[in-house]
Amino acid sequence: MKKILLFTIPLFIAGGLYFWISNPNSETPEQKSFLLVMYGCASASEKDIVKAMNYANEAIEICPNNDEAYRLRACLYLDMGNFEKATADFLKASELNAYHGGVYFYIGEKREFDKAFISYRNLISSMPSSSDKSTLLAECGMYHEWTKYITEAMKCYNEAIEINPSNASAYHGRGNLYGFMCVYDKSLADHKKANKLNPVDELQFIIEMEETLKSVRESD
């Protein structure tokens, strides 16, 4: 299986389980549909694409507004190389739930990054809250960074921080970007800020950047 399915299966299952727990009435079409999506994910993880596709189709038939079902089917289509159908389902999933940003992943898979970023920006502009926009901007910055769009990545991180100064992931991303640009003092400052906001994974980055900055200063 391609990395797209392997990466998204845990997200499908987590979302389905949350829905199931928070909606104890198992007779509703919505719950039946989400359960089918989980079955589809399990089949996909076992590389049984035909069975996974059948589950996805049935989930959509029972509940046409199940965005997770469209996203699962889109990933299956993408894995099969059917980009046209994958696009249609990704767009439908994004229409039902803009957080999916499915069209980004599809276009990104085809390496049409300019179109991907435009699409992702459109999704960001549709977000109702500043916090949501900041979160997605940080993610968009990460995608720009991965694809070497350094200037655009910096714009996204800066905008994310401006909108929400408590967005730890934006500081983390910008810190990584500064490190890539060899601006080590700013990189260290951003990682320290991220660590202060969310002290989970930053300490190693701080240690490495302090050592790098020390070496640079000693070599001057």
Residue 14 belongs to domain spanning: 1-125
Distance between start and end Cα atoms, the chain = 49
Last residue of a domain, one of 95, 125, 155: 125
**Same-domain status, 193 and 143:** yes
What CATH code is carried by the domain that includes residue 53? 1.25.40.10
**Same-domain status, 100 and 184:** no
What is the per-residue pLDDT for 52?
A: 92
**Same-domain status, 187 and 99:** no
**Same-domain status, 65 and 5:** yes
- Scan for tokens 């109702």, then name that residue: 128
Residue 50 has which token pair? 């035909």
What is the per-residue pLDDT for 14?
A: 41
What is the per-residue pLDDT for 101?
A: 55
Cβ–Cβ under 8 Å, residues 188 and 209: yes
d(CA 40, CA 188): 44
The residue ranges of the chain whose pLDDT is under 50 are 1-24
**Same-domain status, 193 and 111:** no
Last residue of a domain, one of 107, 125, 143: 125
**Same-domain status, 75 and 163:** no
**Same-domain status, 132 and 169:** yes
Using the CB atoms, write b or e for 82-121: b if 16+ within 10 Å: eeeebbbbbbbbbebbbebbbbbbbbbeeeebeebbebbb
**Same-domain status, 69 and 170:** no
**Same-domain status, 91 and 172:** no
What is the per-residue pLDDT for 50?
A: 93
**Same-domain status, 82 and 4:** yes
What is the per-residue pLDDT for 98?
A: 59
Last residue of a domain, one of 66, 98, 125: 125
d(CA 146, CA 150): 9
**Same-domain status, 143 and 106:** no
Give the predicted TM-score (pTM) of the model.
0.53
**Same-domain status, 148 and 196:** yes
User: How many structural domains is the chain composed of?
Assistant: 2
d(CA 170, CA 163): 11
